C-alpha cells in the first residue's frame, strides 16, 4: 500500500428514528472520518438527520448521504421492484432531504453511499446503477458515489473507480495473504 495514501474510516450512522434508538453515534463519531447518514427511508427521521449533521460537524467528520429503498420495516435490506424513474426520484429526494440539513448547518454533502438492498441491486444491475448515477449527477455533478472496488458494471457505464477501489483491492490481497489463500 502506498504510504502517502490516507485510509478514511467510514461508518453508517443516524439510523435512529422516533422513540427507537439505534447505534452509538455519540461515542463513535469522534473516531471516524466519514459518516454515512440515513436519509429517512430505511432509518433516520428529520430530527435524527439534523442532530447527526450537527454531531458530524462538531467532530470534523465528512457527511455522506446513505439513501435506501423506502423500507423502514425491513431496514432497507429488502429488494423492492422499482422502475429506474422511481429509483432516480427516491435517491434524489433523500439527497435533497439530507442536504437541507447540511445547508442549514453550513456544510455540504461529501459523498453518497447507497444502503442495503439498493446498494446490492446497484452492484448487480446496470439499470439500477445507471438510475443511481443519474440521480447523483442531477443532484450535483462530481459528487462521489461510494461503491465496491470491483463493481461489475462499471466498464459498460464509463464508471472510473477512484483511489478507494485501489485501497479495497489491496486490503483484499492483504486478507487473502493472512488466510493462506
In DSSP notation, 120-179 reads: HHHHH-HHHHHHHHHHHHHH-TT--B---TT-TTTTTTT----HHHHHHHHHHHHHHHHH
Q: Dump pLDDT digits (tens) for 36-58.
A: 999 988 889 999 999 999 999 99
pTM: 0.81
Per-residue pLDDT at 87 exceeds 90:
yes
Number of H helices, E strands in the chain: 6, 4
pLDDT given at position 139:
93
Confidence of residue 2 (pLDDT cuts 50, 70, 90): low
Q: Which cell numbers hold the place of 90? A: 427516491
pLDDT given at position 171:
47
Which secondary structure element, helix H or strand E, spans residue 63, and what is its range?
A: strand 62-66
Q: Measured between alpha carbons, how far is 165 from 55 in angstroms, rounded to an integer?
A: 28
| Main-chain dihedrals φ then ψ at residue 162, nearest 5 degrees | -95, -165
Per DSSP, 8 falls in state: P
In the chain, the domains with their CATH numbers are 10-147 (3.20.20.370)
pLDDT given at position 77:
85
pLDDT given at position 178:
46
Confidence of residue 27 (pLDDT cuts 50, 70, 90): very high
Q: Measured between alpha carbons, how far is 110 from 8 in angstroms, rounded to an integer?
A: 13
Burial of 4 (0-12, 13-18, 19+ CB in 10 A): exposed
Give me the mean pLDDT over the 106-119 stretch: 93
pLDDT given at position 168:
47
pLDDT given at position 108:
95
**Summary mean pLDDT of the chain:** 83
- Residue (of 138, 122, 109, 133) closest to 49 by Cα position: 109
Contact predicate 34/10, CB 8 Å: yes
Whether the CA torsion 152, 133, 118, 47 is positive or negative: it is: positive
pLDDT given at position 122:
87
Amino acid at each position: 500500500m502506498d504510504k502517502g495514501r490516507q485510509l478514511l474510516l467510514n461508518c453508517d450512522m443516524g439510523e435512529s428514528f422516533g422513540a427507537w434508538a439505534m447505534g452509538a453515534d455519540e461515542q463513535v463519531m469522534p473516531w471516524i472520518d466519514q459518516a454515512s447518514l440515513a436519509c429517512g427511508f430505511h432509518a433516520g427521521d428529520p430530527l435524527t438527520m439534523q442532530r447527526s449533521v450537527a454531531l458530524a460537524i462538531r467532530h470534523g467528520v465528512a457527511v455522506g448521504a446513505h439513501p435506501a429503498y423506502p423500507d423502514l420495516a425491513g431496514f432497507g435490506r429488502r429488494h423492492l421492484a422499482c422502475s429506474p424513474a422511481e429509483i432516480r426520484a427516491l435517491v434524489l429526494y433523500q439527497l435533497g432531504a439530507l442536504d437541507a440539513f447540511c445547508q442549514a448547518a453550513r456544510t455540504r454533502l461529501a459523498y453518497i453511499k447507497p444502503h442495503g438492498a439498493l446498494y446490492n441491486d446497484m452492484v448487480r444491475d446496470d439499470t439500477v446503477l445507471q438510475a443511481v448515477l443519474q440521480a447523483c449527477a442531477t443532484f450535483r455533478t462530481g459528487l462521489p458515489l461510494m461503491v465496491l472496488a470491483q463493481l461489475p458494471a462499471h466498464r459498460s457505464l464509463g464508471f472510473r473507480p477512484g483511489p478507494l477501489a485501489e485501497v479495497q483491492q489491496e486490503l483484499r490481497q492483504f486478507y487473502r495473504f493472512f488466510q493462506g489463500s
